[in-house]
């Protein structure tokens, strides 16, 4: 018969150790630096070069021009493989990976997300003396 001494010592040793696992989701998970989670788009920095769109291996990203120097980004987070290639391709820091990873949904249509363009600048109006306001002409 094998003596239980070695196993008992091992069991007692583990009783005093902290758990190797985390109590997620009861406790929030802290993701490591540079984690490649959900993407965000900084519309004010985008120049519309579309390098990110061209380099996306999953066809999960579309950059749309919606006005003069105004661009919006449409992500398909159900197609995205979270490789962050778009972040690397953008030399304007307009793409950013976040630590957000809890993206499971019942309705996948909600994973199509549009980050809208920056607000259009107000249209300048030149007031003609004695007449109706006329649109300003570019210089």
Judged by CB, which is closer to ligand SF4: 89, or 99?
89
Q: Does 95 bind ligand SF4 (CB under 6 A)?
A: yes
For residue 44, the SS3 value is helix
Q: How far is CA 113 from the centre of its chain?
A: 10
- 72-91 residues in contact with ligand SF4 (CB under 6 A) are 80-86, 89-90
Judged by CB, which is closer to ligand SF4: 84, or 118?
84
Q: Does 117 bind ligand SF4 (CB under 6 A)?
A: no
3-state secondary structure 87-136: HHHCCCCCEEECCCCCCCCCCHHHHEEEECCCCCCCCCEECCCCCCCEEC
Binding site for ligand SF4 (CB under 6 A): 39, 46-52, 56-58, 60-61, 63, 80-86, 89-90, 92, 94-95
């Amino acid at each position: 018969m094998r003596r239980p001494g070695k196993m008992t010592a091992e069991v007692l040793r583990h009783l005093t150790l902290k758990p190797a696992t985390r109590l997620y989701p009861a406790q929030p998970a802290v993701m490591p630096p540079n984690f490649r989670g959900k993407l965000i788009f900084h519309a004010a920095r985008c120049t519309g070069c579309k390098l990110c769109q061209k380099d996306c291996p999953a066809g999960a990203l579309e950059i749309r021009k919606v006005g003069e120097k105004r661009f919006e980004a449409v992500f398909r987070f159900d197609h995205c493989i979270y490789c962050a290639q778009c972040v690397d391709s953008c030399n304007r820091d307009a793409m950013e990976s976040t630590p957000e990873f809890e993206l499971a949904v019942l309705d996948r249509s909600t994973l199509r997300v549009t980050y809208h363009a920056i607000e259009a600048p107000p249209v300048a109006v030149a007031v003609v003396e004695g007449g109706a306001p006329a649109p300003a002409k570019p210089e």
